[in-house]
Structure 1
Amino acid sequence: MAVIDKPENAPEHCPGPSTEQAGKASACEGCPNQKICATAPKGPDPALQFIKERMNSVKHKILVLSGKGGVGKSTFTAQLGFAFASEESVQVGVMDIDVCGPSIPKIMGLDGEQVHQSLSGWSPVYVQDNLGVMSIGFMLSDPDEAVVWRGPKKNGIIKQFLKDVDWGDLDFMLVDTPPGTSDEHLSIAQYLKESEIDGAIIITTPQEVALQDVRKEIDFCRKVKIPILGVVENMSGFICPNCKGESIIFAPTTGGAKKMAEDLNIKYLGSIPLDPRIGKACDMGISFLDEYPDSPACKAYLDIISEIKKQFTD
């Protein structure tokens, strides 16, 4: 499936501004962008070659996706990054493409940091020597400032994160994404097409209201040919830190993530129970896995991360 950036106000059958028919097709009649599209340069985006060159130094690229918001994508991305980087020889980069709601800087203890420029491009902000992060959150003058951008500007910043950031040699690049299957997702799929995406980790919660959006995300991956590494069920239950009793918070009325994975023939990586200390660790910007190794949620995280690592044994 070709990925084509279309203006937000384009007609239904818009051929796409980069195609030979742009501004000339019958569907273009009456479109306010017709003249611009007809005179715009055609052909491949020249930035794609720069992106490919940058990404040559990245061994594995993993997207963290979910059609639903609030299921814990950023939390999982951060913990995965901390876990990978716990091995000093492993170089990890986390790229936050949630342009309107960047939470990675807070979760990874980088609140208030800024991006610096060198001769080789923008430098990631480092949690530690082998764990770098890039996010629009580093570029906001006020953390409460709303990012009110249309699709093309969102696409532009994602392109810059890929071609203008000096990531260096990475073993893993983890991409934290916003909810949905829209501009940011199409952009990352298009820009990394030549460099290849190793796969996507799909995050969900057990209830059907989340699963129905997650199924759309899985369909998106299949349409743009992104391999799915597996599904993680987050917030699958609550284990009391004191009495160790378990309560089901989000009841899986249709069988939860495991049943969905079986139905759609994708790998089920495991489930992570709720632990209030996960939220506390995120607010403090520290690794939950390092801080609370006694938690059942920590064991669940490590089991899932072990399953993911098995897919990248060189």
Structure 2
Amino acid sequence: MRETIMADVDINAVHTALGQVLDPALEQSLAELDAIRKLEVSGARAEVELCLGYPLGRDDTLARRVRDALVALPGIDEVGLVLDWQIDAHPAANSAMAIRGVKNIIAVASGKGGVGKSTTAANIALALAAEGAHVGILDADIYGPSQPQMLGVGQKRPQVIGEGKAQQMIPIPAHGLQSISMGYLVSEQTPMVWRGPMVSGALKQLLTQTRWDELDYLIIDMPPGTGDIALTLSQSVPVTGAVVVTTPQDIALLDAKKGIEMFRKVNVPVLGVIENMAVHVCSECGHKEHIFGAGGGERIAADYQTRLLGALPLSLAIRRQADGGEPSVVANPDSPESQEYLAIARRLAAELWRANRRAAPVTIIES
């Protein structure tokens, strides 16, 4: 960090005040995060440069906190602020198991079907892209791929380049995402009547034979449950972290716990829990009702020392927009639902940054 000291201002007080400002996504101080790149004071003006490890997007909470903290000091009347961000690769991205062109891999999972996992995965990916990151999404639900319809891609086929073992698929663009799915390779009426090893092999091919173009995040929409695909991912791919989607009712929470335990057993950090269908808001009168119960996501996050990343409503609009090929973040970015997806994406990316900072270095293996 570069500092310029001026005689008429207590630079130590400025530095201390700046360092104590809390990042809104992690509620951790800028000093602890080592996020301060420059601090200069000229007359009554402070110039600050910050660099965080997740996309800042359009949220101005941190900027307001910095300005409020500094103009409260004697002698500081103006604050010039530059907010920058840099997404680093997880240490495992340099390992022999790495997926070329991918910095971080995030698995979005659920213990059971029907909790809105795929809709959540699509909106998280789109939210991260809206915040400024380069994002891809892989539909790992080989038996029931849904991302082609949710992303409005339909029956497009990926272009294949190269020959033999060097063949690669070019991901299909969708609302600014790079996407790949078994649904692009078979028709909607074709059932995947495969046993476990074939499914695992198909997932490996989708991952390793897709030509990802410098992704900050690859979101993997996992199939429900804790079967072969989850094990394949953990054993052959450097997954940076996982997110578990649940609904508030007790049955869903029981299955969500199994999902968290599974990731723990294969040493994949659980970055947080997302509670879907948390509350229903009447479209006529605005009355709120917790149809499936209240506080389940928060309880399970506390039980497993992880974080509730956010809670989403039971909303007809979310369902209609996903079915129509334009998920909420694209269809209506200013809606309350979209704003919640954006907030969840920021918290998720920030938690991943924190996990990467704690991760042990991985030895680079030359091929």
Unaligned runs of 5+ in 1: 1-50
Distance in 2 of aligned mates of 1:86 and 1:246: 29
Q: Is the 8 A contact 1:232 1:269 kept in 2?
A: yes
Q: Which has the larger radius of gyration?
A: 2
- For 1:243-298, what per-residue CA distance to the aligned partner results, in whole angstroms no more than 9, with x for missing partners? 3221222124xx51111111221111121111101111111111312323454322
Aligned counterparts of 2:348 and 2:200: Cα–Cα separation in 1: 29
- State the one-letter code of the partner of 1:226: V
Aligned to 2:133: 90
**1:222 aligned to 264, 275, 279, which one?**
264
Tell me by how many angstroms 1:156 deviates: 0.9
Question: CA separation of 1:182/1:62 partners in 2, compared to 1, >3 Å: closer, same or farther?
Answer: same
- 1:1-314 counterparts in 2 under 5 A? 52=96, 55-87=99-131, 90-119=133-162, 121-128=168-175, 130-140=176-186, 142-192=187-237, 196-252=238-294, 255-313=295-353
* Alpha-carbon shift at residue 168 of structure 1 (Å): 2.2
The offset of 1:312, in angstroms, is 4.4
Give the secondary structure class of the aligned counterpart of 1:273. Answer: coil
Number of positions where the alignment pairs a residue of Structure 1 with one of Structure 2: 258
Instruction: State the distance in 2 between where 1:146 and 1:123 align.
Output: 24
Contact 1:107–1:284 under 8 Å retained in 2: yes
Q: Which runs of 5+ in 2 are unaligned?
A: 1-94, 358-367
CA distance in 2 between partners of 1:54 and 1:259 (Å): 34
> Normalising to structure 2: TM-score of the pair?
0.66
Q: Give the drift of 1:190.
A: 1.1
Q: SS at 1:301's partner residue?
A: helix
Please say which of residues 236-245 and 155-164 is displaced more in the overlay: 236-245
State the 1:114 CA deviation: 1.1
DSSP 3-state at the match of 2:346 = helix
Q: Which moved more, 1:273-282 or 1:292-301?
A: 292-301
**Conserved 8 A contact 2:222-2:230:** yes
Deviations 1:161-180 (A, max 9, x none): 12211112111100000111
Give identity over the alignment, percent. 37
Aligned residue identity for 1:124: P
For the residues of structure 2 that align with 1:53 and 1:66, how far apart are their CA atoms? 24
SS in 1 for 2:160: strand
Q: CA deviation at 1:57?
A: 2.4
Shift of 1:54: 5.8
Shift of 1:241: 3.3
